[in-house]
Structure 1
Amino acid sequence: MRLATWNVNSIKVRLPHLLQWLAAQDAMKAPIDALCLQELKLTEDKFPFAELEAAGYYSLVAGQKTYNGVAILLRKASLAAIAQDVNTAFLSPIKNNPKFADEQQRLLAATVAFNGRAPIRIISAYFPNGQAPGTEKFAYKLDWLAGLHDWLSEEMEEHSRIALLGDYNIAPEDQDVHDPKAWEGQNLVSQDERDAFSGLIEMGFYDSYRLFEQAPKSFSWWDYRMMGFRRNAGVRIDHILLSEALKNDCIASSIDKTPRAWEQPSDHAPVITTLS
């Protein structure tokens, strides 16, 4: 079974790429069973349900006009049961209120039963960017991360098989950055952000990509500017974390850079994890 995450940076613009990429996986006889998307940048009423249905996918969506928005695409041929216990509400300790509801659509969770498998709790998450340390947006990011930690603690009490997929906007280690010295102390690599990522690992999650030997300078995001992709001046900020029960079934993890080279691409590449 293959799980994937991809920040499409506007599904309206990138729908042809999304359909092309899913079809290519099918052609290789390695279909994607669940795909988490981020940065839809549209509301649910404008989501391409019909096009994805025709491609063989059932869609769960939490949309937002212009910004944010997340989805979970589920391959109908792999489903034993429609996703249940869908949750888009994420409470974050913003404004010193432990039950302050975040109005930004950044999180979507569902319990999914695939053919012949125990149910899996799949979470599609679009972590805040943060802009820069010291800004209000960075403070929001740290608050959001703290709220996520608390929410995941509750999730782990109910579910042993959890996959947290998404654009984390955090490069956890220097090996995940093309030029660590140039990036030192900046947004995406600050110690506060890396500590928050480490906190997820300490909870009992595993970075599926780092379970295997990977080529050096492997990244999932490249800036559109200054020929970032051509120079491989990227960072690895898109991740699939697995709970221990799923980690024991993980047999491969990779980044597919192919769509990043297409015309008018997303600035992110898909990340894929395979479970036995």
Structure 2
Amino acid sequence: MKIASYNLNGIGGRLPILLQWLALAEPDIVCLQELKAPQEKFPENAIRDAGYDVVWHGQSRWNGVALLSRVGKIHETRRGLPGDPADEQSRYIEAAIGGTLVAGLYLPNGNPAPGPKFDYKMRWMARLDAHLETLFDLEAPVVACGDFNVIPTDLDVYKPENWKGDALFAPEAKAAYRRLLDRGWTDAIRHLHPDERLYSFWAYWRRSFERDAGIRIDHMLLNKAARETLKAAGVDRRPRGWEKTSDHAPVWIELDAAPAGSTKTKRRR
């Protein structure tokens, strides 16, 4: 089963990019971030016509997350990260899909740091840590994926010196991400590519993509049950080279697990 995560940087203008990539890559489950669309403006019909069931948590102009499945119905289990009833930002959605629990997230950027936005980022990471702790020991595979807005190590950035003082590379953010790994969560891409420079984001300026001057901020974390079935993981760089594309590229994993009690949805014609 192939599970992918993709920050679209706006689904309204990049729906053709998404549909082209879905047809090319044929992922079974997809986590989308940064929809930048209110709930009623999400292109549900186009996604379903492409052969995917879908649930989404939209927000006007900012944020927004979605889950897509072509391997059976999506059984939503949570919308919004627990721990702060006053938090109205659409950054977390969770569902059981084909025997796997999938948590899709869009972690706050946190810039400028220090400041209120960075404080919110760190509170959000603490809430994420607390919630994922309740999921880790489930017998079913659990995949927590999305745009974490954290560069974990120097290996994950083209020029570390250029990111000093940025919230994505702040020691506090890196330490919070490290705590997730210390609790047992496996960074799938780094687990299978321990020494390789793999990036998932390239800025639009200074030909960053062409020079491969990127950062790795899109991650897929696995609990023990999911890690034991991990076959492959990587970054699909192809969409980043297309016209009018997102500044992110999809990240993906393959699990050696057939979806429980479901068959792949046929693409509508």
Instruction: Give your verdict on TM over 0.5.
Output: yes
State the one-letter code of the partner of 2:222: L
CA RMSD of aligned residues (A): 1.5
After superposition, the Cα gap between the structure-2 partners of 1:85 and 1:50, relative to the gap in structure 1 and judged at 3 Å, is closer
Match of 1:182, SS state, is helix
Question: 2:80·2:91 contact (CA, 8 Å) conserved in 1?
Answer: no
- Is structure 2 residue 122 aligned with structure 1 residue 131? no
Contact 1:91 1:101 in 2 (8 A): no
- Aligned pairs for 1:226-265 (under 5 A) are 226-265=206-245
> Do 2:152 and 2:177's aligned partners in 1 also have CA atoms closer than 8 Å?
yes
Q: Deviation per CA, 1:64-112, whole angstroms, max 9, x where unpaired?
A: 000000000101xx22xx22243113234xxxxxx43310000000012
Task: Name structure 2 gaps, 5 residues minimum.
Answer: 257-269
Task: Name the counterpart of 1:40.
Answer: 35
What is the TM-score with the length of structure 2 in the denominator?
0.91
Q: Distance in 1 between matches of 2:180 and 2:19?
A: 32
2:75 pairs with 84, 90, 93, which one? 84
8 A Cα contact 1:89 1:101, kept in partner: no
Task: Tell me which residue corresponds to 1:155.
Answer: 135
Structure in which a larger fraction of residues adopt strand: 1
The residue that corresponds to 1:14 in the other structure is 14
Structure 1 residues 186 and 89, CA, compared in 2 at 3 Å: closer, same or farther? closer
Measured after TM superposition, the shift of residue 19 of structure 1 is 0.6
Deviation at 1:143, TM superposition (A): 0.6
Cα separation, 2, equivalents of 1:18 and 1:207: 25
Q: How far apart are the structure 2 equivalents of 1:89 and 1:158?
A: 20
- Higher RCO, 1 vs 2 (CA within 8 Å, ≥6 residues apart): 2
Structure-1 residue corresponding to 2:153 = 173
User: In the alignment, is the contact (CA less than 8 A) between 1:185 and 1:191 conserved in 2?
Assistant: no
AA matched with 2:18: L
- Structure 1: 5+ residue runs without aligned partners? 26-30, 93-98, 114-118
1:107 match: 92
Structure 2 letter corresponding to 1:229:
F
- 2:183 corresponds in structure 1 to 203
Counterparts in 2 of 1:181 and 1:21: CA distance versus 1, 3 Å: same
Counterpart of 2:51 (choices 38, 47, 56) is: 56
Alignment partner of 1:188: what SS?
helix
| TM-score normalised to structure 1 length | 0.89
For residues 192 and 159 of structure 1, what CA distance do their matches in structure 2 show? 31
The residue type paired with residue 79 of structure 2 is T
